[in-house]
Amino acid sequence: MAREAMFNTLLNLFDMENAKVLDLYAGTGAIGLEAISRGASHVTFVELGIKQFHLINENTKLLKIEKEQFQIHKRKVLDFLKHLPEETKFDFIFADPPYKLNEYYDILEIIKEKDLLSENGIIVFEMDQAIQLVSHPSFEILKEKKYGITKFQFLVINPSLTA
């Protein structure tokens, strides 16, 4: 229910049609698969867990997702991000790291350093409500939504940096 509400908020802020999506800590792939069902043209899933990796593969087959519409990488997220080619751009980046890792700032730092977010792109973090707001000078928190014990932060490139 929380993720459905997150998508409803997201779609009020962002047009998913033909978007390139990055689903970090993808788990079952639910976010990326939902993005495809809402018009995204391509999803890159990143998941280290072997069971989850295979589950994403199974889910893409079950849903008859074309192979050109997705890639699945079995890697640590920060390592994956650090090794992306410079020209790589995503319109929507979703991250739900295990709460104990607290890699939110590191993710933002790499996204900024490698310029991975498209000009009108958006980042969504899913986190426990107890986690403090993610703050990075290159990004602005556009919105924060709470659902039960979960909260979502919607971030964009800091407008003062693009002026």
Condensed to tens digits (0 to 9), the pLDDT of residues 86-136 reads 889 999 999 998 877 789 999 999 999 999 999 999 999 999 888 877 788
| Environment class of 162 (CB within 10 Å of its CB; exposed 0-12, middle 13-18, buried 19+) | exposed
CATH architecture entry for 2-13+26-105+114-143 = 3-Layer(aba) Sandwich (3.40)
18 pLDDT tier (thresholds 50, 70, 90):
very high
Secondary structure (3-state) at 51: helix
Cα–Cα distance measured from residue 146 to residue 20, given in angstroms and rounded to the nearest whole number: 26
